[in-house]
């Protein structure tokens, strides 16, 4: 989404000036101050607001994507301390602002443009976390799939032993003593002596991260839709792929049910181009079809494209 929006310059805001005088006045103020101030002086508050929100969305999503990507790369290499450090900012910080913008754009913009950064400090929004996330989730297509309480408890609750908050704190601090539930063990430093091949952290991660990332992805989709309405088919394909992909990785039982359903619908009508064998929707092919719009022939091994998400 980010790359396509950037390429199309979709976040640029076009302003139609009334006449040459207004255009000239804009250029003068923009040169002396900046374009946003100029729009506000010219009483074009709604355009200024769109510029601000578009700019924040693009930059914050980009920052999130960079952090998440590097974090997952570190997890792949079992460098879990830097991995949690990298995961901490997008999940503890950015996720709240993205949620706030989706939940109540007016409220966010008023606080952001108040000129007082304490208005948008995490300490202030921390008290409203539950309310903001619940409201934002209510605007997504995920209300039947995930619970707002799960997001709050996974990311922000130090008492949740199966959540991520304690892991974030232990990754960033060698000693933690303020909260009993994440207190450093005696004669220890947090995390640094942990064996890199211990799997318990990965079990927590697999159980929690998909839910949070699914929520975040849908927030981003809604925010981009505000910048410029998305193509309806692409939007449906995104929802289908992410929600079913999420269900698929939630449990083997889900995966089998999904693969069977896909097999019933697709096997009778799709044959391998090379050897003519009917498509067999194995778990591997179900995941392939969902995530990459391709499948692998179970007979000859040829990979073929199949536009599942656009067809559905």
* Residue 299 lies near Zn ion (rule: CB under 5 A): yes
- Residue 274 C-beta: closest distance to Zn ion, Å: 5
**Residue 66 in contact with residue 47, Cβ under 8 Å?**
no
Nearest residue (CB) to Zn ion, 24 versus 302: 302
Q: Is the dihedral of CA 45, 47, 48, 49 positive or negative?
A: positive
Quick check: helix, strand or coil at residue 212?
A: helix
- Residue 149 C-beta: closest distance to Zn ion, Å: 47
Choose the stretch contacting Zn ion; rule: CB under 5 A; options: 20-28, 44-52, 251-259, 266-274: 266-274
- Residue 139 C-beta: closest distance to Zn ion, Å: 44
* Residue 274 lies near Zn ion (rule: CB under 5 A): yes
* Residue 300 lies near Zn ion (rule: CB under 5 A): yes
Choose the stretch contacting Zn ion; rule: CB under 5 A; options: 84-92, 191-199, 232-240, 273-281: 273-281
Quick check: helix, strand or coil at residue 3?
A: helix
Nearest residue (CB) to Zn ion, 220 versus 279: 279
Choose the stretch contacting Zn ion; rule: CB under 5 A; options: 16-24, 165-173, 177-185, 294-302: 294-302
Which string of x and - marks every residue 242-261 that binds Zn ion (by CB under 5 A)?
Answer: --------------------
- Residue 252 C-beta: closest distance to Zn ion, Å: 26
Q: Is the dihedral of CA 263, 265, 268, 272 positive or negative?
A: negative
Short-list 149, 100, 138, 154, CA closest to 122? 100
Nearest residue (CB) to Zn ion, 179 versus 299: 299
* Residue 267 lies near Zn ion (rule: CB under 5 A): no
**Residue 92 in contact with residue 48, Cβ under 8 Å?**
no
* Residue 265 lies near Zn ion (rule: CB under 5 A): no
User: Which of positions 109-148 make contact with Zn ion (CB under 5 A)?
Assistant: none
**Pairing mode of beta strands 303-305, 294-296:** antiparallel
d(CA 2, CA 10): 10
Short-list 57, 69, 77, CA closest to 10? 57
Instruction: Kindly give the interhelix angle for 165-172 and 148-156, rounded to the nearest 10 degrees.
Output: 20
- Residue 298 C-beta: closest distance to Zn ion, Å: 8
Choose the stretch contacting Zn ion; rule: CB under 5 A; options: 203-211, 221-229, 259-267, 271-279: 271-279
* Residue 275 lies near Zn ion (rule: CB under 5 A): yes
* DSSP labels, 20-85: HHHHHHHHHHHHHS-HHHHHHHTT-HHHHHHHHHHHHHHHHHHHHHHHHHHHHHHHHTT-HHHHHH
* Residue 279 lies near Zn ion (rule: CB under 5 A): no
- Residue 273 C-beta: closest distance to Zn ion, Å: 8
Choose the stretch contacting Zn ion; rule: CB under 5 A; options: 64-72, 77-85, 213-221, 275-283: 275-283
Choose the stretch contacting Zn ion; rule: CB under 5 A; options: 1-9, 23-31, 151-159, 300-308: 300-308
* DSSP labels, 229-289: PPPHHHHHHHHHHHHHHHHHHH-HHHHHHHHHHHHHHHTTT-B-TTT-PBP---HHHHHHH
- Residue 303 C-beta: closest distance to Zn ion, Å: 10
Which residues in this chain contact Zn ion in the complex, by CB under 5 A?
Answer: 272, 274-275, 277, 297, 299-300, 302
């Amino acid at each position: 989404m980010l790359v396509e929006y950037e390429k199309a310059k979709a976040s640029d805001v076009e302003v139609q000036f009334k006449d040459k005088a207004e255009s000239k006045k804009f250029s003068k103020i923009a040169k002396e101050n900046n374009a946003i101030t100029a729009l506000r002086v010219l009483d074009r508050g709604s355009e200024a607001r769109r510029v601000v929100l578009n700019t924040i969305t693009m930059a914050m999503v980009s920052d999130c994507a960079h952090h998440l990507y590097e974090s997952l790369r570190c997890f792949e290499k079992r460098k879990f301390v830097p991995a949690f450090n990298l995961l901490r900012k997008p999940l503890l910080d950015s996720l709240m602002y993205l949620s706030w913008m989706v939940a109540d754009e007016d409220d966010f913009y008023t606080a952001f443009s108040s000129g007082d950064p304490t208005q948008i400090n995490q300490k202030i929004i921390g008290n409203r976390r539950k309310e903001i996330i619940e409201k934002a989730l209510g605007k997504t297509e995920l209300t039947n799939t995930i619970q707002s309480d799960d997001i709050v408890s996974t990311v922000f609750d130090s008492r949740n032993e199966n959540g991520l908050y304690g892991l974030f704190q232990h990754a960033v601090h060698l000693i933690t003593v303020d909260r009993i539930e994440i207190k450093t063990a005696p004669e220890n430093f947090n995390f640094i002596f942990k064996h890199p091949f211990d799997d318990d952290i990965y079990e927590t991660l697999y159980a929690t991260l998909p839910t949070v990332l699914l929520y975040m992805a849908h927030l981003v989709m809604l925010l981009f839709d505000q910048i410029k309405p998305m193509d309806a088919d692409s939007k449906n394909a995104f929802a289908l792929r992410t929600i079913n992909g999420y269900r698929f990785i939630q449990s083997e039982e889900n995966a089998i049910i999904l693969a069977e359903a896909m097999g019933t619908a697709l096997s009778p009508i799709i044959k391998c181009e090379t050897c003519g064998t009917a498509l067999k929707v194995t778990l591997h092919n179900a995941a392939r079809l969902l995530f990459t719009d391709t499948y692998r022939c179970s007979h000859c091994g040829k990979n073929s494209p199949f536009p599942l998400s656009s067809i559905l």
